[in-house]
Amino acid sequence: MFIGTSYPKLDDKFRLILPAKFRDRLAGGVVLTKGQENCLVLLTTAEFEARAESLAGTSPLGSRERRGLNRHYFNLAETQTPDGQGRILVVSGLREWAELGRDLVVVGVGKHIEIWNPEKYAAFMDATAEDFANFNEGEVTLN
């Protein structure tokens, strides 16, 4: 499980040094792709493949909505292996999607890691704080 928050910076070659506490679990390969709320999602290759199977559905073409979802999820996805220093490249299309500059917020969110623009992350957390405060553990989802 990935938990916790860190505040790294992209280097001059747009590489992210992964937080040390995550590196061992990511050493075998990762996939970096778009996430909701304009963040990036970093997953182990195995977790990405499991989610990809779920997205594929039962039909090769699926509904128009499923095709659109698949296009967004897969079109900028990047498979990488972190280098010896635990770095991955954040390509320009993904940086543009998430509006990333040099400063980042990296958040462990259970089975995946999110990479955020710091201002967008702060705004998202502020906007959802009341939902969290009112969350009833017996409920299945947050509104």
- For residue 20, being part of any structural domain is answered with yes
Tokens of 140: 């299945």
Number of domains in the chain: 1
CB atoms near residue 51 (< 10 Å):
17
Q: 10 lies in a domain?
A: yes
Domain assignment of residue 139, yes or no: no
Q: What percentage of the chain reaches a pLDDT higher than 70?
A: 92
Does residue 140 belong to any structural domain of this protein? Answer: no
Query: Does residue 111 form part of some domain?
Result: yes
Residue percentage of the chain with pLDDT more than 90: 76
CATH classification at residue 50: 3.40.1550.20
16 contacts: CB under 8 Å, gap ≥ 6:
8, 10, 87, 88, 89, 90, 104, 106, 115
**Global confidence as pTM:** 0.89
Residue at 142 is within a domain: no
Residue 59 forms part of a structural domain: yes
Residue 50 pLDDT grade (very low, low, confident, very high; cuts 50, 70, 90) = very high
Residue 75: Cβ-neighbour burial (10 angstroms; 0-12, 13-18, 19+) = exposed
pLDDT at 134 over 90: no
CA 102 to chain centroid:
17
Residue 65's domain spans which residues? 2-133
Residue 133 has pLDDT above 60, yes or no: yes
